[in-house]
């Protein structure tokens, strides 16, 4: 797989525009699902996923061939999605850490107190409901959770994609999982 990808990238770098389509085909499902689980709305996820590939293409010379291509690509897709959410959601203050609490936010505070209304559970199919609850997570927990559980990536890969230490990845997964637990326990 890695050798195949490297060959394609070499072709693209030499100006073989069409070879890039092979890369898109190889990774489009994963990239799309990362975007989809981060932003939830299919059309927006599709636009973001396309944009991620376009950026990968225009920056292909910056990609270090010895590193894993998917890590680099997923990083572009994650960053684009998170940026998009930041611009879209004015509720950033909920994401702000409460000083001296080591990553605790107003959001986690609220989430833990708020029971999920029963009719909401009935209203959505489980999938949609789970997706909505993921969307309610602060962005930094959401990206760690999506990469771990949806893409099944190792802590090391997640740490490379998000550019944070492995220990921080763990903390975010633990906190994100706890916040989700509080919202998903009323099945």
Partner 1 sequence: MACLKEMVQIMYKVLDQEATEVEEREFFDHINTCSTCREHFLELKQTESLVKGLETKEPSEGFTQAVMAKLPQPHKKSRRPAKV
Nearer Cβ to partner 1 (3/43):
43
Contact between residue 51 and residue 11 where contact means Cβ atoms under 8 Å apart? no
Q: Site for partner 1 (CB under 8 A): which residue of 126, 132, 156, 167?
A: 126
Site string for partner 1, 163-182 (x = CB under 8 A): -------x--xx--xx-xx-
**62 in contact with partner 1 (CB under 8 A):** no
50 binds partner 1 (CB under 8 A): yes
**What number of chain residues touch partner 1 (CB under 8 A)?**
40
Smallest separation, CB 81 to partner 1 (Å): 14
User: Could you give the CA distance from residue 74 to residue 78 in angstroms, rounded to a whole number?
Assistant: 6
Q: Check: CB of residue 9 under 8 Å from CB of residue 69.
A: yes
Tokens 């760690």 — which residue? 144
Q: Are 39 and 85 in contact (CB under 8 A)?
A: yes
Measured distance CA(113)–CA(169) in Å, rounded = 25
Q: Give the residue among 21, 105, 39 at the shortest CA–CA distance from 77.
A: 39
Tokens of 109: 């505070």
User: Does the footprint of partner 1 cover residue 54 (CB under 8 A)?
Assistant: yes
Using the rule CB under 8 A, which residue among 8, 32, 81, 144 binds partner 1? Answer: 32
Indicate whether 49 belongs to the interface with partner 1 (CB under 8 A).
yes
CA–CA gap between residue 132 and residue 39 (Å, rounded): 10
Residue 152 CA to chain centroid, in angstroms?
12
Does position 101 interact with partner 1 (CB under 8 A)? The reply is no
Tell me which of 28, 44, 103, 106 binds partner 1, using CB under 8 A.
Answer: 28
* Structure-block tokens of residue 153: 């990536």
Q: What is the contact surface with partner 1 in residues (CB under 8 A)? A: 14-15, 17-18, 20-21, 24-25, 28-29, 32-33, 36-37, 42, 46, 49-50, 53-54, 57-58, 126-127, 130-131, 134, 145, 149-150, 170, 173-174, 177-178, 180-181, 184-185, 187
């Amino acid at each position: 797989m890695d050798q195949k990808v490297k060959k394609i990238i070499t072709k693209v770098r030499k100006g073989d525009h069409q070879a890039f389509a092979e890369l898109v085909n190889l990774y489009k499902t994963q990239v799309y699902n990362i975007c989809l689980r981060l932003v939830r709305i299919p059309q927006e996820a599709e636009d973001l996923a396309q944009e991620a590939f376009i950026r990968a293409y225009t920056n292909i010379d910056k990609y270090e061939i010895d590193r894993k291509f998917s890590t680099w690509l997923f990083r572009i897709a994650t960053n684009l999605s998170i940026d998009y959410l930041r611009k879209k959601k004015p509720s950033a203050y909920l994401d702000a850490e409460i000083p001296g609490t080591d990553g605790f936010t107003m959001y986690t505070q609220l989430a833990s107190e708020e029971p999920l209304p029963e009719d909401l559970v009935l209203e959505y199919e489980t999938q949609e409901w789970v997706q909505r609850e993921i969307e309610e997570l602060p962005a930094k927990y959401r990206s760690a959770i999506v990469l771990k559980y949806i893409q099944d990536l190792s802590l090391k890969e997640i740490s490379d994609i998000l550019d944070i230490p492995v220990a921080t990845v763990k903390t975010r997964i633990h906190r994100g999982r706890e916040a989700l637990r509080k919202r998903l326990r009323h099945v």
